[in-house]
A = this chain, B = another copy of it.
Amino acid sequence: MSKFWSKAAKNLVPYVPGEQPKDKKYIKLNTNESPYPPSPRVIKAIKNATNSDLRLYPDPEFHELRETVAKYYGLTKEEVYAGNGSDELLAFAFQAFFDPGKKILFPDITYSFYPVYCRLYNLDYETVPLDDEFNVPVNEFLRENGGIIISNPKAPTAKYMGIDEIKTIIQYNKDNVVIIDEAYIDFGGESVVKLIKEYKNLLVIQTMSKSRCLAGLRLGLVMGSSELIDGIIRIKNSFNSYPVDRLALAGAVEAIRDEEYFKETVAKIINTREWVALRLKEMGFEVLDSRANFLFISHSKMNAEVIFNHLRENGILVRFFKKPRIDNYLRVSIGTDSDMEEFIKVLEMLIL
């Protein structure tokens, strides 16, 4: 602690991202990146935008990208906004819609950045325990609160919640904002974007880091009623006029337009996920039903941390959360078929 830090800075408990060791080459199954490169059209669009116009500020309102996303989802431009990764948009949303004093609700097992944002903006929260099978107890969200955030499919369990259950929560909480974090929605889930016209209190946040293979470009999307989007814009324009650079804008537009590549890579990842899940079950793993680009797994006879270390020693990184209820689970991102064959092979060394 430094005497120069503000009380707010002293009070923080910063988020810790998945490790990115540089000591050797790993098969990286620890940060839910896509194993596939971005679309060739995206690469081309970025290279074309890498020109003398980089001397000029980007469009602070992201008009072209917003129009492209709006068209894709059947929304208006006023119902769409973008940010420097979905993390930035989550932070903006916490600040724009949640007030200190009233408790924000989210599941006890969730994306670990949510409590970090609460500390950052001095917000109160209460975690709602998932049931023993990690399902969201919908009724627990039908009560007085200061706002709700739920990821769907859920981080880090990969489990998916049906649109009707979410609708029940949105419907009950008409005076509060309900944020649905759909970082992983494209891997088999149904987006609640279609409910935006009906519910002014619904905010949907997505990312291009997973299904669009662009984690390195930093591009998040937020969708909701125009009054919610205006709230996001107020924060953004009080923070950074130009949070998304020219190259990210150019790449993101093309990523949305190249639907064929998007569908193809997502289908490959789902296909890989399914055979890996089967093999893991044959090896005695519990494998939670996944609609994401990762699996959440646990072995009845082998401690998760032991498996984690064994994998790491053999050049494979997965994510292990030393936290209550999930400290015997591993989160394993879906790689290419050959990545996953190696993963299974290394596991077999330990388990068979």
Contacts and interface: CB of A to CB of B under 8 A. Distances in A.
A177 interface: yes
Interface string A14-56: 1111001000000010010111111000110011001111111
B217 A245 contact: yes
Contacts of A200: 4
A248 to B, nearest CB: 6
Contact of A17 (B13, B57, B228, B239): B57
Dominant SS among interface residues on chain A: loop
Most-contacted residue by chain B among A5, A177, A251 (CB, 10 A)? A5
A52 B33 contact: no
30 contacts: A2-B230, A3-B175, A4-B200, A4-B228, A4-B231, A5-B96, A6-B231, A7-B99, A8-B96, A8-B121, A9-B95, A9-B96, A9-B231, A9-B234, A17-B242, A31-B57, A33-B55, A33-B56, A42-B54, A43-B50, A54-B214, A54-B251, A57-B209, A84-B84, A85-B242, A87-B239, A117-B238, A120-B238, A215-B242, A245-B245
Given A6-B97, A37-B54, A53-B216, 12 more contacts: A2-B230, A4-B176, A4-B201, A5-B231, A9-B235, A14-B234, A14-B237, A17-B241, A20-B60, A43-B51, A88-B239, A216-B246
